[in-house]
Structures are given as structure tokens and as C-alpha cells.
Amino acid sequence: MTIDATAVDTAAATAHPGLPARGRSAEDLLGELHALTARDLPTRGGRTAAYVYDTGRPEVREAAERAYLAMMEVNGLDPTAFPSIVALERQVVGATAARLGGDDATPGIFTSGGTESIILAVKAARDARPEIAEPEIVVPVTAHAAFHKAGAYLRVKVVPVPVDPRTFRADPAATDAACTVNTVLVVASAPSYAHGVIDPVAEIAARASARGIACHVDACVGGWLLPWLAEAGAQVPAFDLSVPGVTSLSCDLHKFGYAPKGASVLLFRDEALRLHAYYACAAWPGYTVVNSTIQSSKGAGPLAGAWATLQAVGADGYRELGRAALAATRRLIAGVAAIDGLVVLGEPEATLVAIGADPDAPLDLFALADEARERGFFLQPQLALGGLPANLHLTLTGVSEGGVEDLLAVLRESADAVRALGPAQVPAELVALLGQVDLTALDNASFAALLPATGLRLDGPASEATPTDGGGAVGGARMAPINRLLDALPVATREALVTRFLSALYSPHLGG
């Protein structure tokens, strides 16, 4: 038999949709990634005041990157096949527990993020109470959306409780009053993401404990921040496992641990509760499954990246990053107070700040966010809910200190620009229309055709983009019209609209 070399060559050179005919070089691929990320928000330098956490230390990033790559191919599916992951996870969980009222015997789980930690905390609380047929969790209305997601995924009823409208902190008495015989978990945040304030953990946990109910502290954003802020002189009430009645706690290392994304720790007061977070399956003919997390096969990169970041920053490093973030926050709070039309909501206790509109001389915050974005700073819009006002969120990190005067200058300029635009137009007709349309019945094409009417513009002028050392650019998208619209809609319509939008975004009708 002879092989026709030309025929083989031609077959091999035929491209498949979405794939090149021949494999491309890493150089070529990284060039394409660089071009794509040039339109993203910058991940470094502190001008993106949400989503990203930057130490500003290249040696830390390098340690995380190399550790991540070194463990990328290790599969966390089976800790007996890859004992390295047990060793690393025990170190990471142990370090987190030791900072948060536990010790090296404190049971924990390394998860992919805050949402996964919270879903597992809710699962553990639910499964620890098998006698309750219709389980409920009681959460302050300021609790993270992840609890609602956990409720939806696990079929657990979520009971939101109003918070103090002035301090935005959970109300222990109201939380207690919302508990029933079906309550499997009560939640407190340290701090809440939206307003950056710490709920009265001790009182909430004590009341839950008196009823025999588990209490989870959501310290996703604060767990690896608050202890260092306390060392820098901030007033931080006890919020961790040292507080009686707290049965579990979540702490995201991919936030103020500054680890690459995919890193959170869920701690339990006792190992019996952790057992209820685990999952095992022997009811199929393949390998026997036993998982500590929702994912089964998973790369060990995030675990190694988190471990390396903790080790590369060290206690001194976190102390200094905490001090810097706190100084930036205090400066920002004082600076915002001096800008007409803006106020800081509540009294932020961490380094998360919600900027609201002054009720006496309100500014259109959504337009302000667009103006700030044009000027190189991304602030995160948060919609009004119940009696809680709309606001712009900022998370200040270890690199924010150097840029805080620039940020305040941008806020002042943006406020002037928005004032010159005049009062915001609430799109009454669109709101009425959306009240009548069945959004789920629209397909991607018709939804995409409707979008221009909302005023949303995803592709802003690239010329106004501000290049940064991260290679990214702020600027472009005009989000105020869509945020104003969402803000005016009821919660269910907001959810239907953004879901519809996401579907269209990942379709040829919108996806660029």
C-alpha cells in the first residue's frame, strides 16, 4: 500500500469552522488575546474600582502566575491521585482559619469563589436539617445575590429582612422575628458588598444559636481585609469564628487576598457541618465520586495561585496593603463629602464605599458613572431596591492610595458635567412598554432590534479610551440610559431584561 502524501496534506490543511487548518503559535495567539483585552477595563492600577484587586507588586503577580501554571494540569477531582492539592489546600485553609478565629484544625473547603462558598454553606445548613421539608434561610436584604442564587439552585426559600435605612446594617430583632421552624440558616455580612458596613454579627449569631439555627458570616470581601484594617487602627467589631453561634464563614482570597480569580475559602465551626457540604456518588458504573465542591474535574491552578499569593505577600505585605487601602478610603470619603450633590451612604467600615445622590440636590449617578468612565475611572452602578437608594460602588485596594486625588478630581469634573446636562429623563414609555412585553417570548434577533430604543451603546468612541499599564482602556460604553431604565423597573422585570440581554450578547445579533 502506498500513501498519497498530497491527499493527506490537503485533508490536514482543511480548516474546520472555528479552528485553523493548522495549529497556531503561542506568539500569534497571545497577540490576538492582547488585541481582545485592549477593549476590557484595566485590571491593574486601581482605576477599575470593582471586579479587580491589584497589589501593584510585580513580584507577587509573577509568583502567582508561575505557581498557577505549574499546577494547571493537576486535577482536583481526586486528592488521592494528586496529594499535592491536599497539602496546598490544608495550608491555605489553615492560614485563613488562623486569621479568622479558628486554627489549623478548623474544617474548611477551598472553592472557586464566594458564590460557590455560599452555595455550599447553604447546602450544608440544609442537609444538616433533613427533618425540615421546606427549608428557609433568613438574610438581611443587603445580603449578596449569591444567597438568592443558592436558594434558587437548592430549592431553599430565601426570606429577606429589611435593614436599618440609615446605617444599612442588619436588624437583629427583625432577623430573629423572621425565623420560623423551617429556618435552617441565618446570615450576616462582614461587610456587605453594597454598602461596606458590618452587620451586628454577635447579636445575630447569639439569637440564631438560642433557636438552634446555624449562622453563616459572609466575609467574602471582608475576611481577608478586616483583620489587617484592625491592625492599621480601624474599629472592627468581632465578626469571625471566635464569635459564639457563628457556624460557618466564607472568605474570598481572590478579593483582598489578591489571588488570581477562582479562590475562596469556606470555614466551618465543626467537621460534622462540613460533611454536609460534601457530595458523594457511587450510583453509576464509573469511578466513585467524592467532591468537596460543586465542580468535579478542576485545575489546581487557582489553588496554587492563591497559596503562592499568600506566601509572596506575607503578613507585612497585607498589613501595608490594608493600611494603604484604608488611607485611600478615608481620603475618598472626606473628598466626596465636599462635592455638591454627592453623599457617602452609611458609614463604611471597610474599604468599600457607596456614593449616593444628595436627596436635596440630586445628581444623576448613572450619568456620573459614564462621565467618570470617559475620564478613566470605572465606578459600579448599584440600583435602588425597596427603600435603599441607587448608588455607585467603589472598592478601594492596596493600589488606590496613589490615585485617590485623581479619582476625586474626576468625580468633581464628572459632577459638573452631569449638572450641566440637567435632570435625568426617566424613560416612562419604555418602562410602561416593558411592563407589557413578555420578554421570554422574544428571540435574540427581535430583542437586539429593540435595544437601540433603550439608548444603550456598547461600542463607544475608542479615541476617548485611556490606555493604562494593564493594556486595557476605560471609556466607551454609555450605560446611563439602560441603568436608568433598569432602576425604574420592578425587580422581576429587571431580571427578565438582563437575562434576555445576556442571551442576545452571546448571539450573532449583538456579540461583536
Ligand X SMILES: *Cc1c(COP(=O)(O)O)cnc(C)c1O
Q: Which residues bind ligand X (CB under 6 A)?
A: 113-115, 118, 144, 146, 189, 193, 218, 220-221, 252, 264
Nearer to ligand X, 254 or 484 (CB): 254
Which residue, among 83, 71, 37, 468, has the nearest Cα to 259 in the 3D structure?
71
Nearer to ligand X, 266 or 304 (CB): 266
Burial state string for 298-325 with b = 16 or more CB within 10 A and e = fewer than 16: bbbbbbbbbbbbbebbeeebbbbbbbbb
Shortest distance in whole angstroms from residue 123 CB to ligand X: 15
Between β-strands 466-467 and 391-395, what pairing exists: parallel, antiparallel or unpaired?
A: unpaired
Shortest distance in whole angstroms from residue 83 CB to ligand X: 27
Shortest distance in whole angstroms from residue 250 CB to ligand X: 7
CA dist 326 to 70, 120, 201, 379, 409, Å? Answer: 34, 31, 22, 18, 19
Nearer to ligand X, 170 or 510 (CB): 170
Nearer to ligand X, 175 or 264 (CB): 264
Shortest distance in whole angstroms from residue 226 CB to ligand X: 12
Shortest distance in whole angstroms from residue 262 CB to ligand X: 9
Residue pointed to by grid coordinates 447546602:
123
Nearer to ligand X, 138 or 489 (CB): 138
Nearer to ligand X, 119 or 424 (CB): 119
Neighbours of 363 (CB within 10 A): 23
Burial state string for 194-225 with b = 16 or more CB within 10 A and e = fewer than 16: bbbbbbbbbbbbbbbbeeebbbbbbbbbbbbb
Residues in the chain: 512
Q: Tell me the helix, strand and coil percentages in the chain, rounded to 5.
A: 45, 15, 40
Nearer to ligand X, 152 or 409 (CB): 152
Nearer to ligand X, 252 or 401 (CB): 252
User: Which residues fall within 8 angstroms of residue 481, CB to CB, at 6 or more apart?
Assistant: 427, 454, 455, 456
Shortest distance in whole angstroms from residue 223 CB to ligand X: 9
88 with 304: CB under 8 angstroms?
A: yes
CA dist 215 to 32, 54, 105, 155, 439, Å? Answer: 47, 31, 20, 19, 38
The amino acid at residue 510 is L
Neighbours of 83 (CB within 10 A): 10
The per-residue DSSP string of 169-187 comes to: -B-HHHHHHT--TTEEEEE
Shortest distance in whole angstroms from residue 264 CB to ligand X: 6
3-class secondary structure per residue, 418-445: HHHHCCCCCCHHHHHHHHHCCHHHCCHH
Between β-strands 183-189 and 391-395, what pairing exists: parallel, antiparallel or unpaired?
A: unpaired
Nearer to ligand X, 142 or 414 (CB): 142
Which residue, among 380, 46, 335, has the nearest Cα to 196 in the 3D structure?
380
Shortest distance in whole angstroms from residue 391 CB to ligand X: 15
- Give the angle 459-460-465 at the CA atoms, nearest 5°: 120
110 with 93: CB under 8 angstroms?
A: yes
- CA dist., res. 463 & res. 241, Å (int): 51
Nearer to ligand X, 221 or 497 (CB): 221
Shortest distance in whole angstroms from residue 261 CB to ligand X: 8
Shortest distance in whole angstroms from residue 34 CB to ligand X: 26
Shortest distance in whole angstroms from residue 150 CB to ligand X: 10
Nearer to ligand X, 190 or 363 (CB): 190
Using Cβ positions, the residue closest to ligand X within the complex turns out to be 114
